Structure formats: C-alpha cells, structure tokens
Structure 1
Amino acid sequence: MAQFYRYRLPPWLRQWILVIESWMIPICVFQGIRTLLFPTTFDVILLFLLLGLYICFYLKWI
C-alpha cells in the first residue's frame, strides 16, 4: 500500500487538501442533519463515506 506524505506533495495540492480538510466538519454536520430529516439510502451511504473521509484526514492517512 502506497503511503502519502502530504508534505512531499506540490504546494497547490497541499493547499487543496487543507481546504477540503477544513470543510469536512461543516459538510458532515449538514449531511447528518439532512439524513435525520430525509433518510434515504443514498444519504446514509453518503454520510458514512464523508465520515470515513473525515477519519482519514483526522488520522493523517491523507
């Protein structure tokens, strides 16, 4: 499995990763509220994917 080191990436890509990482919590909260109000299969799957992506950012896997 290839390991990604975010500090070896080009500066523009590092900036994109930081922007996406900072927007993950608001997007997860919005999707969680939307899932509670209108629970569809797609919303639940999307919420779990977003939470998984957030965990990857939190643990610095990406």
Structure 2
Amino acid sequence: MEVLRGGRRLVSFSCNDYLNLSQHPALKQAAKDAIDRMGVGSGASRLVTGDHPLLPELEARL
C-alpha cells in the first residue's frame, strides 16, 4: 500500500493490507460472490451458534 509522507510516495508495511489485496478486482469479486452465496452476519463460538456448513470443509482444507 502506498502512502504519501513529506511529498514522497512510500510503501507502507505497517498496516494489515500492506499488499493492497483489499483493492484487487478478482478478490473483491470473490468476496461479493461469497456474500451472495453464504450471506453475512455476526458470528459466535460453536457453543453459542453451532456449526456453519462451511466450517467442516474449511477445517479439512487446513
């Protein structure tokens, strides 16, 4: 991610988005597609809300 400091354009490695992936068109579209398929909402632990259908798949991949 580029920042402007003292008239100089610098690369910032001090934020969570230092690769600027939040602005990558393919990643933005993938996020939108996932929201359309799965929805959004606040979450909680399994004890409170149970399993989301994607959790077992995610765990298997990890």
Greater relative contact order (Cα < 8 A, sep 6+):
1
Higher helix share: 1
Higher strand share: 2
TM-score, normalisation: structure 1? 0.34
TM-score, normalisation: structure 2? 0.34
